[in-house]
Amino acid sequence: MKEAYLVDYARSAFTRAHPRKPEVDGWGETRGDALLARVIDALLARTGLDPQAVEDLSVGCALPVKEQWSFGGRYPLWLSQRLGSTGRDCATRQIDQQCGSGLAALRSAAREIQVGGVEVAVAGGFENMTQVPMGPALFKEGVLTSPEALKDAEWLELEVALNMGITAERLAQAAGIERDAMDEFALTSHRRAARADAEGRFDGERLALANPGGETIQRDANIRPDTGLDRLAALEPVFQEGGRVTAGNSSPLTSGAAAAMLMSSAALDRHGASPLARIVAIADCGVPPERMGAGAAAAAEQALARAGLVASQIDAWEINEAFAAVPLHAMRKLGLDPGRVNVWGGALALGHPLGATGVRLAGTLARILAHRGGRYGCATACIGGGQGIAMVIERV
């Protein structure tokens, strides 16, 4: 098995999506595949890599319907100014593994390199949640459907499994995670993200790109440095009367794109590239769909086992904050030091553009390891439908 290396990573700024008010979303009028193409172009420009060297493109998208259907990943390729004309021989695919789609795209790219199929690959992801909102709206339109037979399955509470907020309520109740703990975690996420932003930590990954209206989008729109526990505590539960999950301790609807460059050892030498990290292990698994948030911890356990590591050896963690209950559950289950988890904030503050998130998790993690001088990192996410996906990396 060959080694696969993460060479570089970039993303757009993440904007606040609003299906009913597209004007408030800086990317509201930008197709997600077009935004990803621009991120890929910027990544290629700063690495100086000849576009013809890219042999493989994997694209993550949680809702690949309507404006987000990309013809198996061909649209981002063709829309790329650098790849469109010279990279037509590049293989592509679009991957839907819900919130794990970005990490699944990285997994696809890494495995192609590890088995010797290609030497240079790009993994990307995008989501425009203004143009293609998740959940009820798409079911009402008939764009998304569920099999009638599943509605009679005794083992499956389908209405719960299809509502991510209710699954977060179930996880919080089962794990004994109280509302105040989730609000405090959300506050920490915003404060850490605001501090990291002020210190320029995201400058090496976040691009300044113009939208169709000519406005340059360069700041993450979801960070709220002025929020406080009193504001978070005043929010009503969203998904269940008397529940614990609110808009404040849930990730916001978000639009954005991210991409990463991966290479083999031979490609590193050939192109004179310096990698950020080595891909050590990848794992995904299934968990009860009614508590899908448990997937982040379960997948991390499997990835650590495959890497021959234990949780205490991981210097930095990126646990996707789909809901505050998810990282809180993982931290308790794995016995993690909070000071090593989401140190630059997470999706509660930065946003969660579903298909792009996994690429951000791994890319930001590699940059955190470089900044802090850590050796091992683990990025993990829960997945709607009852799954989890995790990746262990090692700083080079």
The token duo for 211 is 């939208």
Look up residue 93 and give its amino acid.
Answer: R
> What span, in angstroms and rounded, lies between the C-alpha atoms of 230 and 183?
10
Residue with tokens 């996410």: 381
Nearest residue to 346 via CA among 328, 314, 321: 321
> What span, in angstroms and rounded, lies between the C-alpha atoms of 121 and 371?
25
> What span, in angstroms and rounded, lies between the C-alpha atoms of 30 and 219?
16
Q: Could you tell me whether strands 15-16 and 376-383 are parallel, antiparallel, or unpaired per DSSP bridges? A: unpaired
What are the φ/ψ torsions at residue 264 (nearest 5 degrees)?
-85, 170
DSSP 289: G
Residues labelled as active-site residues: 99, 352, 382
Do the beta carbons of residue 73 and residue 58 sit within 8 Å?
yes
Look up residue 243 and give its amino acid.
Answer: G
Q: DSSP per residue over 166-183, as a string?
A: HHHHHHHHHHT--HHHHH
> What span, in angstroms and rounded, lies between the C-alpha atoms of 394 and 277?
5
How many Cα neighbours within 13 Å face the side chain of 161?
A: 15
Identify the helix (H) or strand (E) that includes residue 245: none
Look up residue 58 and give its amino acid.
Answer: S
